[in-house]
Structure 1
Amino acid sequence: MDSSQPPITLLVFVSSLLAAPLIYTLDKLAAMEDSKWIFAAGVVILPLFGLLCKIFVQYSPAKREPLFYVWSIFSFTAVVDMCIALELDGYIKGFMEFYLREGEPYLRSSYGTMINYWDGTGHFAMYLGLIYLLCSGKNYRILGLYWVGSITHSMIVFMPGNVIGNKGIRWSYLLNVPYVYYPIYSGVRFLRDGMKIKHKQISGKTLWERCTEWIFGLWFVVAILIAMFRYVACMGCKEKITQFYLSDVEPYLNDPYQYGRTQALCYFYYFIPMYVASLCCLIFPGQTWIKDWSLIHAGASIQAQLVYIWASLKWRTETEYQVPDTVLARSIFWPVNISLVIVPHLYAMYCHREEIYDFFTNQIVPSFKTEDEDVNQSNEKVLPQRRVTRSQKKQSQHID
């Protein structure tokens, strides 16, 4: 790419902001009163935006990477989602009323609002970061795995929750299909590439590493018990402790929109296998595949917990399903849910501790050389080479 041209990431960012005036215009069209026309508008507009982004990379090697167009189009829709969230909370008006009325009315829930906030902030930042890494020729696989975990989990909870909720589905529901296909496609690609990487084998572990692994192991056991307990509670267990938990600690699990219950089921069916796999890798070290999956798990956990926590507290949720304002409820709710997002990130950092150490040491100490090597190289640079005279050449030949 010519250095005189604007950076591709900046072009995608600015172009994504065009979503705001576009949806404002669509909101004024009478045809948008039909969900089929909303679906048709999405089918037409999104590929056109992809063609616009193709112009940005016509002189860049990134034009051969199909994921560039995926991330560019998703950045456009992230701005749309941000407008939805802002309109739901009353910060703007007249942008997405048609879509909330005829497109996806279930977005009016607290969970739908928060999932749009996360897509318009967290995912939007990831798209721009991925595009920047791709266009600058840097490794984008690590951030890509983190994004795959986040967006895949959002769809695992969001799409089933829409079906079993009380709002029904429309034609616009099909606009979520690319958010299921392309993350899975990307995840398979990134995991295959990870199998080809030769990871550094750690010969021995220090005392702090062994203590850290014990702490992680205990937490994974506790996380498994929490996920099982929530699952049993959501499935209608009549025991006093489960009834107490649903009514006095996390009543959002009984919210009529069903997103809280779907989240609990997701933890049981998907997160517990990850916890068990992590435990096995702690007991039997040397399993390098856990590095990639720890990133996917971390991305899924941040999307799951941030949206779930704020949906449990948000004013849009009915008061009876919000977290009770009692010391007992808060003292259980916050440690449990905060740990479910922090510890997976700490575990991912622990799995990549060698790479993190190499990164920071390479930044601080550019080269690993002995003191003698540095002195010799500095002398070679400083001392000029002496000219050899004819008499010296003859003398050397005579000696030979």
Structure 2
Amino acid sequence: MRVPVEVSVFLLSLLAPGVLYAMNNIPALQEPLPILGMGMVVLGLVLLLLLLMVQNKTKVDPLFYVFAEFSFTCMVGLTNALEQDGFISGFMGFYIKMGEPHLSNSYAVMMSYWEGVVHHALFFTIIHRMFRGKSYRSLGLLWAGSSIAQQIVLIPGVVIGKHGSNIRPAFLRNVPFFVVPFWAAFLLFRRSRVMPIETADKVAAEQKKSLLSRPVDLLLSLLLLGAAAFSVFRGFVVLDCPMDFCFSYIYQYEPYLKDPVGFPRIMMLVYLFYALPLLTVFIYGLNTPGCSWMLDWTIFFAGAVAQTQWCHIGASLHSRTPFTYRVPSDKLWPVIALNVLLAAVPTLLALRCHTSPAFFLKSVPMGQTNGKKKEN
């Protein structure tokens, strides 16, 4: 009996801690350039093993190699998170010292947990569906949004933050992890969407309803407006807005926003310049019938916001964050509630779009469905 591909990929990813442990105990591999070189060699060997793993398959989706290779690095991330939090030791010391020192920061630790758990699970689910001929497009977009958001906060955050003066050659390994998710997202968006089958009568009936006649959409529109306002506000806060309420917020509610590591500032600017326009067009999509792009972009955006909010909330509470930058104990629940709500809104929107998509589908002649033409 042949072992399922996803099981083989999982077993291959379990080699990552062993590789790290070996490198941590070989002094010759603990210098900046050898670390980068060994990283490239290891990833190359993993790719070779993946090619051998599927050599008997007649047709392999190129994205398989992306998901399988990244699953290996997810275990590296999980190993880092567990070591930084004191659960294990002897794996990452050399890499933190001579490779990427910023990975010991609380934001990077939370990012590593997300990689090691959420991304890891997504990869195995996607690979499972891929080799059984099932669609994985939505799961792929969820990962792409999460991964792109991770990189556009991580890389600039390292460069402009306090770790910017201590960048080593191993930091270059982030370049493919920045580029590949964009390429994967491009491929996924270009692929045909599996459209739900709805009767034309139902589509027409849903699209005739005003926003006031759709209480769920009305509530989501209000929540999106609130998320947009909160994104603008925190963007102004990290840009050193001199107004009293901005000053009060950053010192009394979220002092983590002024942590010199740079990640929170970059994250708020990403929200201001990228999330805000998307929130605006989602409000438009909830008001305008036939915006079928909502079915894809809401999933992509939900992944991005979930990842960044997880890292932000966790880092603002983590013991590795200096006490002065953590959320004050008397403001803990309001701050957590606001940030959890901000993370939940895109997820709720994506669920709404996919559980009842009739409003967003392109209209078709009455009496037809999307899957069956009317017979004369």
Given the two structures, how large is their TM-score scaled by the length of structure 1?
0.84
**Residue equivalent to 2:368:** none
Alignment partner for residue 128 of structure 2, among 132, 135, 138?
A: 132
**Residue equivalent to 1:186:** 184
SS in 2 for 1:75: helix
**Residue equivalent to 2:370:** none
Alignment partner for residue 225 of structure 2, among 214, 221, 226?
A: 221
**Residue equivalent to 1:379:** none
Please give the alpha-carbon distance, in whole angstroms, between the structure 1 residues aligned to 2:4 and 2:357: 28
Q: How does 1:1-400 map to 2 (within 5 A)?
A: 4-61=1-58, 64-168=60-164, 169-194=167-192, 200=198, 202-205=203-206, 210-326=214-330, 329-354=331-356
Please give the alpha-carbon distance, in whole angstroms, between the structure 2 residues aligned to 1:301 and 1:335: 15
**Residue equivalent to 1:394:** none
CA contact (8 A) 1:85 1:114 kept: yes
Amino acid at match of 1:350: R
- Note the alpha carbon deviations across 1:32-90, whole angstroms, 9 max, x for none: 332111111111110111111122212224x5321111111111111111111111111
For structure 2, the 5+ residue unaligned runs are 359-376
Amino acid at match of 1:330: L
Aligned residue pair count: 350
Q: 1:175: Cα distance to partner?
A: 0.7
Q: 1:165: Cα distance to partner?
A: 1.2
Q: Structure 1 residues 301, 209: CA separation in 2 closer, same or farther (over 3 Å shift)? A: farther
For structure 1, the 5+ residue unaligned runs are 357-400
Please give the alpha-carbon distance, in whole angstroms, between the structure 2 residues aligned to 1:6 and 1:191: 31
Please give the alpha-carbon distance, in whole angstroms, between the structure 2 residues aligned to 1:242 and 1:234: 9
Please give the alpha-carbon distance, in whole angstroms, between the structure 1 residues aligned to 2:283 and 2:357: 21
Please give the alpha-carbon distance, in whole angstroms, between the structure 2 residues aligned to 1:188 and 1:16: 26
SS in 1 for 2:90: coil
Q: Structure 1 residues 286, 316: CA separation in 2 closer, same or farther (over 3 Å shift)? A: same
Please give the alpha-carbon distance, in whole angstroms, between the structure 2 residues aligned to 1:38 and 1:44: 10
Q: 1:136: Cα distance to partner?
A: 1.2
Q: 1:228: Cα distance to partner?
A: 0.6
Amino acid at match of 1:104: E
The two structures, once aligned, show a CA RMSD in angstroms of: 1.9
Please give the alpha-carbon distance, in whole angstroms, between the structure 1 residues aligned to 2:276 and 2:61: 34
Please give the alpha-carbon distance, in whole angstroms, between the structure 2 residues aligned to 1:164 and 1:348: 33
CA contact (8 A) 1:195 1:289 kept: no
Runs of 4+ in 1 over 6 A off after TM superposition: 206-209
Among the aligned pairs, what percent are the same residue? 36
Please give the alpha-carbon distance, in whole angstroms, between the structure 2 residues aligned to 1:190 and 1:74: 17
Please give the alpha-carbon distance, in whole angstroms, between the structure 2 residues aligned to 1:247 and 1:214: 34
SS in 2 for 1:279: helix
Amino acid at match of 1:337: N
Amino acid at match of 1:151: S
Q: 1:195: Cα distance to partner?
A: 6.7
Amino acid at match of 1:19: A
Q: 1:199: Cα distance to partner?
A: 7.5
Amino acid at match of 1:7: P
Moved more, 49-58 or 124-133: 49-58
- Note the alpha carbon deviations across 1:292-335, whole angstroms, 9 max, x for none: 00000110111011111010100100111000000xx2343122
Q: 1:281: Cα distance to partner?
A: 0.8
- Note the alpha carbon deviations across 1:260-286, whole angstroms, 9 max, x for none: 111111110111011001011122121
Q: Structure 1 residues 195, 73: CA separation in 2 closer, same or farther (over 3 Å shift)? A: closer
Q: 1:354: Cα distance to partner?
A: 3.8
Please give the alpha-carbon distance, in whole angstroms, between the structure 2 residues aligned to 1:157 and 1:87: 23
